[in-house]
Structure 1
Amino acid sequence: MSFLDDFLVRAALAGLGVALATAPLGCFVVWRRMAYFGDATAHAAILGVALALTFEVSIFAGALSVALLMALVSAGLSGRTHASDTLLGVLAHTALAAGLVAASFLSGVRIDLMGYLFGDILAVSRADLGVIWAGAALVALLIGWRWSALLTSTLNPDLAYAAGINPERERRVLMVALAIVVAVALKVVGALLIVSMLIIPAAAARPLSNGPERMAILAALAGSIAALGGLWGAWTFDTPTGPTIVCTAAVLFALATLGERVAALTTRRG
């Protein structure tokens, strides 16, 4: 009997895979203030699921394709006719609504909308686990390969141009990585909670970090603790797993913020 036969083991490994995929990317989402952009991409994944089931192709491929298309469309239109946050809000909710409407037209196909909206980590199969870890490895390699260029273009676009770096190209790299993360995390935390796992662990790591590399490492640690702690909490208290994972991440953020405040007060009194 393989240890992967245990659904809790598969769930734990899936949570760790998603945490490692979202950690470095989440740092850039926080630094670039791309939360709305992440929402639009994640919500589009539901439309991708509906289209994948309609044309009988891989759900991962459908979610990835539509998420990537949404990322490219929102980046191309942003700031041209409407403010960025307005446009992204329109695209995000339109994509989610269109996905839900498309799913309602599927006949003879059983679709667990709650699972895709809020995740169903306990139902992760071996195949899902392989996809999650392959996606996490791809995102890690992509971010690692472009780390210096991404960081420079994020902190100072003018300096990036002077160094021969194209900030727009680096933004496209982030779009591709974000689309992969959305497709990978869909099974674990669902379309409505994916951005939470991008933002909250990175935000929790920020007060404890004195550099970008340290923040990425601490974000990965916070995300891993949230995934495992949330899984344990859901199993113990019989609560929805995806939301419990996000709540655990929120507790870590609150503790990190409180610790920063206490440290600041102690320094002033000293």
Structure 2
Amino acid sequence: MLDDFLIRAALAGLGVALAAAPLGCFVVWRRMAYFGDATAHAAILGVVLSLALSMSVFAGALAVALAMAVTVSSLSGRGYGMDTMLGVLAHSSLAFGLVAVTFLPGVRIDLSAYLFGDILAVSKGDLLVIWGGAAVVLGLLWARWQQLLLSTLSPDLAYSAGINPRREQLVLTLALAIVVAVAIKVVGALLIGAMLIIPAAAARALSTTPERMAVLAAVIGGLAALGGLQGAFLLDTPAGPSMVCVAAIFFAVTTLFRRPGRG
């Protein structure tokens, strides 16, 4: 069954959606949309380093994405606005990654595959990495759900309950780095942020509890992945962007039918 490239692509899309969409709820609640983009852009530099060192692309992207996430968390509150710092780090790391590619002798790389994804080229080994990463992310969210939620809603209340919000933010940054590393081959660095945010934003209009929002976000993300693949197959369009387009349609529909005052 896994010899069919469309089956592999569908499983890869579902794996990324299941990991990204629930995590995206925290990105939406914490207003960290630009944080996700910055981490994803930094992953391009990780791809280049992995090729230069002849190591796994997943390992290189994970290392740099994690370094970026920890750096941003550590530098917050140092006199610069968060949006300014994220803009500088995101665009700088992406630029350095694109420039560094030209210094790799004998290495031919299709940058568009890492910028916009190449889900149809996913291998069985990639599937193991994607679903393994998704399992880790979902496990982290499951184990730390109450602590993460309380830290998100009220850091002061979290402190009074004996929870360190700083530690919970590091858990989120670790989960975000893993999602970026596993998703870069599926939707690409420029579209990872969309798969984090759009399903969660679409689910928000239909949800009355945080748990319901996380579940609905995963469902919408999965439907967007499968619908985007189907559309790409029928219309001969790029698979990664097609998945984001379907997610955007879900968001538009839920926004139109959202009850006033919700979300």
Task: Tell me the TM-score range normalised by the shorter chain.
Answer: over 0.9
Identity within the alignment, %: 70
Distance in 2 (alpha carbons) for counterparts of 1:191 and 1:106 = 20
Q: Which residue of 1 aligns with 2:11?
A: 13
Moved over 2 A (4+): none
Question: In the alignment, which of 73, 76, 80 is matched to residue 75 of structure 1?
Answer: 73
1:264 Cα offset (Å): 4.4
Q: Which residue of 2 aligns with 1:165?
A: 163
Question: In the alignment, which of 228, 232, 244 is matched to residue 246 of structure 1?
Answer: 244
Q: Which residue of 2 aligns with 1:202?
A: 200
Secondary structure of 2:2's match?
helix
Secondary structure of 2:205's match?
helix
Q: Which residue of 2 aligns with 1:95?
A: 93
What amino acid is aligned across from residue 129 of structure 1 in structure 2? L
Measured on the aligned residues, the alpha-carbon RMSD in Å equals 1.0
Q: Structure 2, unaligned stretches of length 5 or more?
A: none
Secondary structure of 2:163's match?
coil
Q: Which residue of 2 aligns with 1:154?
A: 152
Q: Which residue of 2 aligns with 1:122?
A: 120
Q: Structure 1, unaligned stretches of length 5 or more?
A: 266-270
Secondary structure of 1:79's match?
coil
1:144 Cα offset (Å): 0.6
Secondary structure of 1:210's match?
coil
TM (norm. structure 2) is 0.98
Q: Which residue of 2 aligns with 1:136?
A: 134
Higher helix share: 1
Q: Which residue of 1 aligns with 2:48?
A: 50
Q: Which residue of 1 aligns with 2:231?
A: 233
Distance in 2 (alpha carbons) for counterparts of 1:201 and 1:24 = 9
Distance in 2 (alpha carbons) for counterparts of 1:6 and 1:110 = 26
Residues 128-152 of structure 1: per-residue CA shift (max 9 Å, x gap): 0110000000000011100000000
Distance in 2 (alpha carbons) for counterparts of 1:181 and 1:123 = 18
TM (norm. structure 1) is 0.95
Q: Which residue of 2 aligns with 1:268?
A: none
Distance in 2 (alpha carbons) for counterparts of 1:7 and 1:112 = 19
Residues 25-56 of structure 1: per-residue CA shift (max 9 Å, x gap): 10000000001111111001000000000011
Corresponding pairs, count: 261
Distance in 1 (alpha carbons) for counterparts of 2:86 and 2:124 = 35
